[in-house]
Structure 1
Amino acid sequence: MTDTIHIICPACQAKNRIPTAKLAAGPACGACKASLFPGAPFELDEARLNKHLKNDEVPFLVDFWAPWCGPCRTMAPMFADASRQMSPAVRFAKLDTEQHQSVGARFQIRGIPLIILFDKGREVARQTGVMNAGQIVSWVRQNVKG
């Protein structure tokens, strides 16, 4: 029996079951054919975040940010660079806390930029403040099990 994992499509939100042996081949969504690992952070809203947390079986790093936040804008290209380096082992997403303020309260966000690493829906680590791509990659590797 082939080991498989579940991944939510960042484009259409369809649930996909992918053989783990095919992750490095850049699998596409069975419904919309978009890349399941786009190699860049994708945008979330609260409903999409909830769906990814409930279903994704790949470590998931979310950048909680706001458009008015200078440090958030400074970190954005470095977060994108880290995403390219770590795909498909980790998926990267961004959530605008200005547009989705209930998420800020739910996760007790006190400062941004804030990255939270989730694994199988559970928070495993969080870090506030600007980090460069190398620091993000190192921090994720320290906190991902296996």
Structure 2
Amino acid sequence: MTASAILICPACQAKNRVPEARLVEEPQCGKCQTLLLPAEPLTLNASLLNRLLTHETLPLVVDFWAPWCGPCQQMAPTFAAAVDKVQGRLRLAKLDTEAHSAVAAQWAIRSIPTLIAFHQGKEIARQSGALSAGQLQQWLQSLAR
């Protein structure tokens, strides 16, 4: 049997089983036809983050940031550009700590930007502070399977 991943649709939050070999082929949701792995980081809220952590099997890297944070704004284009470098191996997402302060508190975010990598609902790595493109790529490669 071919190995597969469970992906949560960013639009309708339906669970989708995708063969691992097809993760780089722009898979779509079976329910609403939305791209399951868009070319930009997902914008999270508490509900979507919880659903991803509970059901998704692809490792998730969340950028905890805020609109007023200079280093967050500086790192945002670098984080967005990293999506196609890790497509099919990691899912990248962003959570605005200003808008979702309870989620930030739940994950003990003390400084921003903070990147947290999750796999199957558990935190597996954390990195605080803005990273250069090279540093970010190196950190993401250490997480990619």
Distance 2:76 2:140 in 1: 16
Q: Which amino acid aligns with 1:68?
A: W
- Equivalent in the alignment of 1:84: 84
Q: Which amino acid aligns with 1:86?
A: V
Deviations 1:21-60 (A, max 9, x none): 2112111111111111112101000111000000111111
Matched, 1:42 2:39: no
- Equivalent in the alignment of 1:97: 97
Contact 1:116 1:125 in 2 (8 A): yes
Large movers: runs of 4+ above 3 Å? none
Give 1:109 deviation, angstroms. Answer: 0.6
**Partner SS, residue 136 of structure 2:** helix
Give 1:133 deviation, angstroms. Answer: 2.6
Deviations 1:39-96 (A, max 9, x none): 2101000111000000111111000001111111111000001112111211110000
Matched, 1:126 2:126: yes
Matched, 1:53 2:53: yes
Task: Give the alignment's Cα RMSD to 1 decimal.
Answer: 1.1
Distance 1:88 1:21 in 2: 9
**Partner SS, residue 77 of structure 2:** helix
- Equivalent in the alignment of 1:29: 29
**Partner SS, residue 125 of structure 1:** strand
**Partner SS, residue 108 of structure 1:** coil
- Equivalent in the alignment of 1:114: 114
When normalised by structure 1's length, the TM-score is 0.94
- Number of residues paired by the alignment? 145
**Partner SS, residue 24 of structure 1:** coil
**Partner SS, residue 131 of structure 1:** coil
5+ residue gaps in structure 2?
Answer: none
When normalised by structure 2's length, the TM-score is 0.95
5+ residue gaps in structure 1?
Answer: none
Give 1:126 deviation, angstroms. Answer: 0.5
Matched, 1:20 2:14: no
- Equivalent in the alignment of 1:67: 67
Contact 1:54 1:120 in 2 (8 A): yes
